[in-house]
Amino acid sequence: MNSNIKLIVKNPVAYHNFNIEDTYEAGIVLTGTEIKSIRAGKVNLKDSYSGFKNGECYIYSMHISPYEHGNIFNKDPMRDRKLLLNKKEINKLLGKVKQDGYTLVPISLYFKGSFVKVELGLGKGKKLYDKRQDIAKKDAQRRIQKAMRVAEKGY
């Protein structure tokens, strides 16, 4: 990532549950107290997903904890938040999601300069056997790395 990009949170299950084929960067509409909570790192992307409503892209189930000093200005932590994409990108994504069976998954949330951006992944859901194969590959890589470390130390 770039030097002016600061990662806030990653979706821990995005690459586990989906085959991500393409990524997009989108802005997000937030209020002042939500920004303060995000700066404090109180955001969760685990169960979040993106969809379309009235020709606009939204992110659903993204939990931003209420700001402790926000009193009446705090919004609902689970409210739907509008994503800022070009009309061309929205039409392209809408066509893919409707016809080809793709889904939009939030991968990460980060600061780009002073703006909060969402990285969206366009992907298809994995089957259970695909997930098992990925876990087996990671386990094999871990064993290889461990064996190489042991061989380097000369045990």
143 lies in some domain: no
Cα separation, 59 vs 93, in Å, equals 14
Number of domains into which the chain is organized: 1
68 lies in some domain: yes
151 lies in some domain: no
Spell out the long-range contacts of 56-59 with Cβ–Cβ below 8 A and sequence spacing 24 or more: 56/82, 56/83, 56/90, 57/26, 57/82, 57/83, 57/85, 57/90, 57/93, 57/104, 58/82, 58/83, 59/28, 59/83, 59/106, 59/118
Residues in the chain: 155
146 lies in some domain: no
Plot region of 107 (φ>0 → left; ψ -120 to 50 → alpha; else → beta): alpha
Residue 3's pLDDT is 67
84 lies in some domain: yes
Name the residue range of residue 24's domain.
Answer: 5-125
CATH of the domain at 103: 2.40.280.10
Residue 155's pLDDT is 63
Place of tokens 């990662």: 7
Cα separation, 100 vs 122, in Å, equals 11
DSSP-assigned letters across all residues of 94-128: HHHHHHS--EEEEEEEEEETTEEEEEEEEEEEPPH
Q: What is the pTM of this model?
A: 0.77
Mean pLDDT in runs of 10 for the chain (155 residues)?
80 85 92 87 89 92 84 77 92 88 90 92 83 87 90 76
Residue 2's pLDDT is 58
